[in-house]
């Protein structure tokens, strides 16, 4: 009788783990995407920017326009089709790079001016397969620059 009870509890535990496995994997992928995106934004905005302008694009979505520490270089951070992009302009050359995980969609990208040298960013990241969505908020201090609106 004890063996039947133990095996029943074990089967129930295994079924619960298997049922939630996809969400667990999605949560891990979102956490990896958050770490990567946050570290990239922190490095670029905190150390390589002399001025960050919080603006709206033609779709009325938030974007960050940065004047870089390098001469005649500007960078635009914006959301497009669920991906965070950085467009870099140097004199006349232009380059656009995706800066978020292609398997994870970013459904919201909001910027808030927190002070003369501080930016707040709120992002929602979603796993398209499971629909699992997480909201992150981060504040970035511009070590070499200032924030304007």
Burial 28-54 (b: 16+ CB within 10 A, else e): ebbeebbeebeebbeebbbebbeebbb
Gap between the Cα atoms of 135 and 145, Å rounded? 27
Domain ranges of the chain: 2-148
101 close to 32: Cβ distance less than 8 angstroms: yes
Q: Supply 25's token pair.
A: 């994997």
pTM over 0.85: no
pLDDT in tens, 81-133: 888 888 888 876 667 767 777 788 888 899 999 999 999 999 999 988 888 99
Task: Give CA–CA dist 40/104, Å, rounded.
Answer: 16
């Amino acid at each position: 009788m004890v063996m039947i009870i133990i095996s029943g509890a074990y089967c129930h535990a295994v079924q619960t783990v298997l049922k939630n496995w996809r969400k667990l994997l999605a949560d891990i992928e979102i956490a990896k995407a958050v770490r990567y995106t946050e570290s990239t934004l922190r490095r670029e905005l905190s150390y390589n920017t002399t001025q960050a302008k919080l603006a709206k694009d033609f779709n009325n979505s938030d974007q960050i326009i940065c004047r870089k520490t390098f001469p005649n270089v500007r960078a635009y951070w914006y959301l497009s089709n669920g991906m965070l992009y950085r467009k870099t302009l140097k004199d006349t050359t232009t380059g656009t790079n995706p800066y978020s995980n292609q398997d994870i969609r970013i459904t919201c990208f909001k910027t808030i001016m927190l002070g003369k040298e501080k930016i707040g960013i709120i992002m929602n990241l979603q796993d398209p397969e499971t629909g699992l969505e997480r909201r992150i908020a981060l504040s970035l201090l511009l070590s070499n620059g200032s924030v304007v609106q």
